[in-house]
Structure 1
Amino acid sequence: MKGLVIAIQFLTRVSMPRVTVSNEEFAASIRWFPAVGLLIGALLAATAWAGTRVDSWTGALLGVIAWVAVTGALHLDGLGDIADASGAAHKDRDRLLAVLADPHVGSFAVVTIGLQLLAKLVLLHALIEMAVLEAVVLVPLAARIGPLVWSRWLPDLHAGLGSRFRRAARTIDLAGWGALLAVAAWFAPGLLATPMLIGGWGWWVLRRIGGISGDGHGAGIEIVESGLLFALAIGARLT
């Protein structure tokens, strides 16, 4: 369970007991990322449900606020960095890496983060209106299977935080979370889009950026989350 505590400390702002962590234990915590996603999903869905006591838009807004607050905007930061770096990628690789390392926020990041938050707000509202808010609990879980896949599949963009996870994600971890996702998809068919979204992000990062990094993991989680909200909305509309 120590790995779960480490993963919660890394991915959220939830208060946890302090533990001493080795490099190997930190890397192994990636195996628990989907479990942390389930915690995030439960918190945001509960907050959104409470907000619906006022109206559906209030519920959606509070849900998005809770989503950002519990993660500390960790993945949004990665999304912004990737957006800025991608905007500079037409120049050269050195320029791309320099932009990724730059702590300042550029116009690409501002626009992308704004659109991401707007997308989550609108899609969460749609799911509330269609009375399928409970399915949202599973979205952060499914999205956090992505880092396990990307760590095994994609080359490291550079030696950084993301590279520490390489080889820590085992086949048994992917099989276990994949099986759980398959069962969950029986109740929320929109989750079947998860492999396509995870694979699509990995292909885009490889083609456009050249490899995966901590920013790439964070941005990918955000993209997959929005894609799954959209997929759930489509699935709910068709049933």
Structure 2
Amino acid sequence: MKPLILALQFLTRIPLPRVEASADDFARAMRWFPAAGLVVGGCVAGAAFLGNYIGPWQGALAGLVAWVIVTGGLHLDGLADLVDARGAAHGDKTRFLEVLADPHIGSFGVMAIVLQMLAKLVLVHAAVLGQHWLALILIPFAARIAPLVWTRWLPPLHQGLAARFRHGVSLPAILVWGLALAAAGWFVPALWAGFPLIAAGYYWFRTQLGGISGDCHGAGIELLETLLLIALIATRLG
């Protein structure tokens, strides 16, 4: 169970016992990212459910706060870094990589985080109104399947986290999680949108950036979660 513990330690801020891990253990941990997503989703849905006893907006806020706390804002940081780099690079790949590696946040990144948080708040509110608790559990799970696909078939932009995970992602693991996502779609049909969205993310990273990095994974997870929430609300309205 070491890879699962490492995945939870990497993707969440849940207190867990320290484990000794090699580079191979760390790489194999990526296979368990979707399972870590289920833990994140459980925390989000649980907080939203309890907050809804006060009101739907309070439930949405509680769910969003839980989302940020349990992940430590890890993926929001990736979103901010990617948007900053794209905004400052002006087509220069060297400049893009320099800004992507800069730990400071710029105006583009701030705007991206604010808009992302507002979007999630509104969408989680709609999910709470519809009492879509299972969807709130499964959406973080679905979004964390994407890094396995992107890592497997996209070259790393630099020798960072994406490169370290690369040799630990196996095709059987992707197939298993893909089947799990397909099965989950029978209960929450909006999750089937995950397949074209993951493919679209692959196409965008390939054509626009030429590869993937840890920050790109974080940004991709954030945007997939938001798009899957939109798909959820759209299917319910339909």
Please confirm whether the aligned pair reaches a TM-score higher than 0.5, indicating the same fold: yes
Matches within 5 A, 1:150-229: 150-229=150-229
Would the aligned equivalents of 1:87 and 1:108 in 2 still touch at CA under 8 Å?
yes
> Aligned partners of 1:89, 1:130: CA distance in 2, in Å?
42
Q: What's the counterpart of residue 99 of structure 1?
A: 99
How far apart are residue 202 of structure 1 and its match? 1.8
Q: What per-residue deviation string (whole Å, max 9, x for no partner) do you get for residues 155-200 of structure 1?
A: 1101111111113111110111111111110011000100111111
Mapped pair 1:48 → 2:48: yes
Q: What per-residue deviation string (whole Å, max 9, x for no partner) do you get for residues 118-155 of structure 1?
A: 11100010111122232110001000001100001111
Q: Which amino acid aligns with 1:234?
A: A
Q: What's the counterpart of residue 82 of structure 2?
A: 82
> Aligned partners of 2:178, 2:202: CA distance in 1, in Å?
17
Q: Which amino acid aligns with 2:224?
A: V
Q: What's the counterpart of residue 124 of structure 2?
A: 124
How far apart are residue 210 of structure 1 and its match? 2.0
How far apart are residue 51 of structure 1 and its match? 0.3
Question: Structure 2: any 5+ residue segments left out of the alignment?
Answer: none
Would the aligned equivalents of 1:89 and 1:95 in 2 still touch at CA under 8 Å?
yes
Higher alpha-carbon deviation: 229-238 or 59-68: 229-238
Q: Which amino acid aligns with 2:104?
A: H
How far apart are residue 91 of structure 1 and its match? 4.2
Q: What per-residue deviation string (whole Å, max 9, x for no partner) do you get for residues 62-115 of structure 1?
A: 100000000000000000000001112324111111101111110110000111
Would the aligned equivalents of 1:144 and 1:221 in 2 still touch at CA under 8 Å?
yes
Q: Does the residue aligned with 2:126 lie in a helix, a strand or coil?
A: helix
Percent identity over the alignment is 53
Q: What's the counterpart of residue 137 of structure 2?
A: 137
Q: Which amino acid aligns with 1:33?
A: F
How far apart are residue 208 of structure 1 and its match? 2.0
Q: Does the residue aligned with 1:187 lie in a helix, a strand or coil?
A: coil
State the TM-score, normalizing by the size of structure 2. 0.98
Mapped pair 1:18 → 2:18: yes
How far apart are residue 207 of structure 1 and its match? 2.0
Would the aligned equivalents of 1:181 and 1:191 in 2 still touch at CA under 8 Å?
yes
Would the aligned equivalents of 1:4 and 1:32 in 2 still touch at CA under 8 Å?
yes
Q: What's the counterpart of residue 32 of structure 1?
A: 32
> Aligned partners of 1:91, 1:3: CA distance in 2, in Å?
38
Q: Which amino acid aligns with 1:210?
A: G
Q: Does the residue aligned with 2:105 lie in a helix, a strand or coil?
A: coil
> Aligned partners of 1:91, 1:146: CA distance in 2, in Å?
26
